[in-house]
Structure 1
């Protein structure tokens, strides 16, 4: 049996799931436990690594996906989260990453060269540590160096709520991302600090104005888990102009598998959601260029399509690409090579 094409993923929330699990993280990760990404499911589907997000979950336990059942919808942004509430949550998820690395279940990669070595060696899981929402960092950037020393190499200044640095887009359908102001002065300082350290700045969840502000500060424009607005008009998806800007700056856009960002009707319904994945890839490739598009699953963080319920099902997506006439060289680029080359250029 031919081994599946390996996938490097632009975004997942497995660390949050493992941090919340009552079992030790190394046990839950190795088991057939609930969750989109476990070692057995990754091995079955060719999931070889990616950006693993740390996220400060608020007290109500997260987003109620039932809001997506009856479009149109427009959810108000949650209030900003206090730094002293966010820091211990993020520190706990950083410890989970360190535990998985110490157990040899992942290779926590801190440079592009190290990532390439891990990938070429066939390590079970190459991890790049990501922060989704910078609530735990002070407006004076206190905490950034501590997180960098722990292995953090990618930051999304916002999730879909405001921070000291930027404003997130609401979960709104239909809408584009022009929903609020751009980077604050502290946000511009954060982006400059990230660029100087060779860190990725992720514009997923950010307003359109913030997206272009990131580009003005000299970084490659990256949206690790956002789709094509021209296919599904969600505020979380990227307009054609934004996709062009990603390509022009040498950045990356990662296809989000979440049903509500794939489906043209914006619904949560899993049935038929995978049918739209190639339409998004077609539009993203047309606008950004085939060297600037990858995958950004949102595993463990969003409702998944029928036929793509976990990392074990990634071959189903690859087969959809083949059925659409994508050649093996392009499929390899989309599945991992574009992300790896970008990170080799970017990470310190």
Structure 2
């Protein structure tokens, strides 16, 4: 079985929500969601980015929002900023869950590409501590504290504003060019992340912020869980111009499995088969080259396609790539080798 290293999941919030007995959620699963240790092992998922994400105090996806997203066109107002005092306790709780998972002996929180390979050899899940939206990081001193705790990947925004930048709203059809770029604090954040070799994730950032990071950062550009705008013109997907910037930096894009970002009609509805996924992969390969394309599922954070319902279904995705004509070397690059190579370039040896 070809292993898979994944660019994004939201499992930690499920762990927090589970309360007492949450170790069993990780170790045995409960039949819900997309991810747990047994399903990762069944699907050959060797590891990935485990996101710390802060839920907004107000509901985000009521019935009217879901209905709108199932019937494009739609333009959902940008979520409001989350106060630091709300974000920090939630972020700490999710980080604590990841470290508790490590104490079960089944997972390693990794800080280098070598760590990923060591975890793979040891039969453990390689987990990167990632923060999706920097609301819990109030200043650069706090960034250093999080780095000391194991943070190695940071998205300055989710789809809402922070003190650092502006997220892209959920809209279809829409350009990702939806607002202002980095703030002064955001430029400081990019510089300090570069100094600490923390990966800067551009998923959810609007186009102006994306371009500002491209000009300022000395690291390869990356969007961990994103699709191709040319195939599905969602505000969350990357245009060919953005893909060119990623390519020219030696960067990488992880393909998101979220149905609403994959479907050319933009409907947030599941679909069968892998043809749409392969359309996105073909386009990304054309624009980025074979070393610039990887996977970024968004497991436990999005509506999955019918035939890619959870981590256990990953072999079916790889088989579809094979049947589509990708040779074994290319499938292995997309499945895991490109992430490891990119992280080696970003973090250093």
TM-score, normalised with respect to structure 1:
0.96
Q: Distance in 1 between matches of 2:107 and 2:22?
A: 12
* Residues 309-328 of structure 1 deviation map (CA, whole Å, 9 limit, x = unaligned): 10000011111111110000
> Can you give the 5+ residue segments of structure 2 that lack an aligned partner in the other structure?
none
Secondary structure of the structure 2 residue equivalent to 1:284: helix
2:261 aligned partner: 261
Change (3 A) 1:199 1:82: same
What pairs up with 1:159-238 in 2 under 5 angstroms? Answer: 159-217=158-216, 218-238=218-238
Q: C-alpha distance in 1, partners of 2:170/2:298? A: 15
Distance, in Å, in 2 between the alignment partners of 1:228 and 1:180 is 20
Structure 1 residue ranges, 4+ long, deviating more than 6 angstroms after superposition: none
Find the residue that maps to 1:154 and give its secondary structure: strand
SS in 2 for 1:225: strand
Evaluate the alpha carbon distance shift between residue 279 and residue 39 of structure 1 in structure 2; reply closer, same or farther with a 3 A threshold: same
C-alpha offsets along residues 121-143 of structure 1, whole Å, 9 cap, x if unaligned?
Answer: 142310011000001111x3242
Matched, 1:20 2:21: no
Q: Name the residue aligned to 1:86.
A: 87
User: Is the counterpart of residue 47 in structure 1 residue 48 in structure 2?
Assistant: no
- 2:139 counterpart of 1:145: no
Q: Using a 3 Å threshold, how does the CA distance of structure 1 residues 17 and 67 change in structure 2: closer, same or farther? A: farther
Hey, what does 1:295 align to over in structure 2? 295
Q: Does 1:98 align with 2:99?
A: yes
Pair 1:159–1:273, CA change in 2 (3 A) = farther
Q: Can you list the C-alpha shifts for 1:224-259, whole angstroms capped at 9, x where unaligned?
A: 000100000000000111111111101110000000
Which residue is equivalent to 1:72? 73
1:178, distance to aligned residue in structure 2 (A) = 0.3
Tell me how far 1:61 sits from its aligned partner.
5.0
Counterparts of 1:323 and 1:167 in 2: how far apart (Å)? 40
Q: Give me the CA root mean square deviation.
A: 1.3
- More deviation, 53-62/233-242: 53-62
User: Deviation digits for residues 103-151 of structure 1, max 9, x if unmatched?
Assistant: 11211001222122222x142310011000001111x324211111111
Name the structure 2 match of 1:285.
285
- In the alignment, structure 1 segments of 5+ residues that lack a partner are none
Larger mean CA deviation between 166-175 and 267-276 belongs to 267-276
Q: How many residues align?
A: 343
Q: Name the CA distance, whole Å, in 2 between partners of 1:13 and 1:232.
A: 23
Bigger shift: 160-169 or 338-347?
Answer: 338-347
Alpha carbons 1:232, 1:266 under 8 Å: kept:
yes
Among 4, 29, 36, which residue is 1:32 paired with? 29
Tell whether the 8 Å contact from 1:134 to 1:156 is kept in structure 2 after alignment.
yes
SS in 2 for 1:228: coil
Shift of 1:62: 4.5
2: CA distance between counterparts of 1:61 and 1:126? 32
Q: State how far apart, in whole Å, the 2-side matches of 1:16 and 1:324 are.
A: 35
Match of residue 57 from structure 2 = 59
**Aligned-partner Cα distance in 2 for 1:231–1:273:** 16
Q: Distance in 1 between matches of 2:94 and 2:25?
A: 14
